[in-house]
Amino acid sequence: MAASGIALVRPRNRADARRENLRDQLWPEVEPHLWNRKREKGFCTLPRTMPLIVNLICQLAEKGKDASSVYLDLWFRAFDDCLVEVSDEEAFAFAAGYSTPGRNVRTWRERVDELEKLGFVEVKPNGSKHYGYILLLNPHRVIKVLREQGQVPEPWWGAYTKRATDVGCTLP
């Protein structure tokens, strides 16, 4: 967003036109059936490295505590301020794939704790609710710290740096 509150839209370039043309050649008349974030409501912005980030979370989480689905759900709920207000823990748990009554919220909380332990999120209370607010930290900065601590596997690091380079991301 610009300071005036007007969203900045990247102008369409030749690469955009080339991909759209290729798509239309391969799938004629498909455009009305596609998701277009400029027309639809309910979209979010994610780092293009997210598939690798959730893969790393899966690798680093304590055995049996893969928090990658919780992390993705949090990103899908966040706006550009990276703040998620936890309004209904059961709904959050269900969205992340935890549906067993009596265990779903406990499992979701354990996964949030795992994300906090790894450094991907910070949690603050809202009144008596311990999980009132969740802040999503810049995953690239978190990964830098994890790498400095020797927790990032070399094969993963190679794939991650390649993908970051491919999408034009400057790693911290």
Which CATH number belongs to the domain containing residue 93 in this structure? 1.10.10
Q: Is 126 a member of any domain?
A: yes
Q: Are 120 and 57 in contact (CB under 8 A)?
A: yes
Domain that holds residue 75: 50-166
Q: Is 141 a member of any domain?
A: yes
Q: Is 95 a member of any domain?
A: yes
Q: Is 54 a member of any domain?
A: yes
Record the pTM.
0.85
- The confidence score (pLDDT) of residue 168 equals 94
What is the average per-residue pLDDT within 130-151? 97
Q: Is 65 a member of any domain?
A: yes
Residues 6 or more apart in contact with residue 50 via CB below 8 angstroms: 72, 75, 139
Q: Is 75 a member of any domain?
A: yes
Provide the domain count of the chain: 1
Q: Is 70 a member of any domain?
A: yes
- Per-residue pLDDT tens for 25-69? 999 999 989 888 778 888 888 999 999 999 999 999 999 999 999
Q: Is 20 a member of any domain?
A: no
